[in-house]
Amino acid sequence: MQEWLGMTAAALGRAIAAREIDPEALTEAYLEAIAAHDDRDRIYSAVMPDRARAEAAAAAQRARAGRRRGLLDGVPVSWKDLFDTAGTATEAGTALLKGRVPARDARVLRNANAAGLVCLGKTHMSEFAFSGLGLNPVTATPPCVNDPGAVPGGSSSGAAATLAFGLAAGAIGSDTGGSVRIPAAWNDLVGFKTSAGCLPLDGVVPLAPRFDTVGPLARSVEDAALLFAVLAGTPAPDLDGATLEGRRLAMLETVVMDDIREAPRVAFEASVERLQAAGAVVERLHAPEVAEAMPMSGVLYTSEAYGTWGKVIEADPDAMFGPIRERFRGGKDVLAADYVAAWQRLEVLRAGWQARVAGYDAVLMPTAPNMPPQADRLMHDDDYYVTENLLTLRNTRVGNLMGSCAVSLPTGVPSCGIMLCGAPGGEARLLRLAAAAEAALA
């Protein structure tokens, strides 16, 4: 059963269908692995064995009766601790929401239940999801699979760790500025950011609702596509026959290559060469829309985040990790007129960007321009924290600002990812392209 823990979700689903794996035995294998793991309490904020066993038993009964609900029926996954779970605390990584127990599951969790997925529990995250580092001294900082002294990336930090350490077959996270893609990249996983509004946010603790998105972390593009379909309650995208032959890809050079560290740069350039060798046509792209939009992040993100949580924060500010509290407070004095003007200008820039990239199948860039920073130094060096946090989220934020869907793929170099950005609403097309890219990079 040990080998089950490293299998893809799709492979597990096929084995269940072939009656080679029993969903109850599979769930027990994961629960035993979680219980035995030294970093269990740094990864899971809450393990839910009773719920997991009940859902696995129902999946096993359906499998025996030939009434499986889909390929992932009976496959165990983890959920970031901002998805409401009925009767189990959902605290979004902050002491300010301690004891918050919702009465109903989030909509996407209900969709997953309807497809037969097994809920193993909730995973630790950056406080209120407002950091790309994954450092959280208030609750817990999960480990990075490639460096025990480094942060794992955030804010879906525990989500990535459950997959990287064999403690779930899939993980559901959220992405407001890179929170699915960064931990995926730093832990050598696939991370899929959906377009804003593509998946329902009912029952998801918000950060900046106009940018918030739900997305899966996975061991393969196929798994990401299947999990996306489950969350949406729609058929899975068709990935069969995906190819890079003749696909036009734009390699963005504006902003995203500035100050990039050596390992991510080398990994990205080598990956682009492999995509070209597989038949893709790659052209360099400069986009003034990106250069203009990036400095607007401070107005757009912090004001919406502070408007959402300011009263809660100021009621007990000392309960928060200082750097994240101060990041929220960056939006405290933003004028409403400036926020409205920024959004109006961003819509113009988005239209210009979409026109500029309309002839390409995707836009390429390094997922993160840096490597996972050291946790101890982040705790004691304020300048290092600010610099690394902003740099970490810089490239991924391009996708959020431009309204794109995006996927991060492993490059084969530890903690270095390559990102493909697609058109808003183009999830199925992007996943098909990503499947072909994954094969070229394998």
Residues with catalytic function: 80, 155, 179
Residue type, 87: G
Q: If DSSP codes are grouped into helix, strand and coil, which group holds residue 386? A: helix
Check if the beta carbon of residue 390 is closer than 8 Å to that of residue 442.
Answer: no
The strand pair at 213-218 and 417-422 is best described as unpaired
- Enter the tokens of residue 50: 């009773």
Residue 220: cis peptide before it, omega within 30 degrees of 0: no
- Enter the tokens of residue 152: 């794992």
First to last CA, the chain: 26
Q: If DSSP codes are grouped into helix, strand and coil, which group holds residue 426? A: coil
Q: If DSSP codes are grouped into helix, strand and coil, which group holds residue 281? A: strand
The strand pair at 405-410 and 190-193 is best described as antiparallel
How far is the C-alpha of 331 from the C-alpha of 334, rounded, in Å? 5
- CB-based contacts of 348, cutoff 8 Å, min separation 6: none
CA atoms within 13 A on the CB side of 327: 24
Maximum alpha-carbon separation in the chain: 61
How far is the C-alpha of 410 from the C-alpha of 404, rounded, in Å? 20
Q: Which residue has the tokens 């904020």?
A: 45
Residue type, 296: M
Element (H, E) at 152: none
Element (H, E) at 5: none
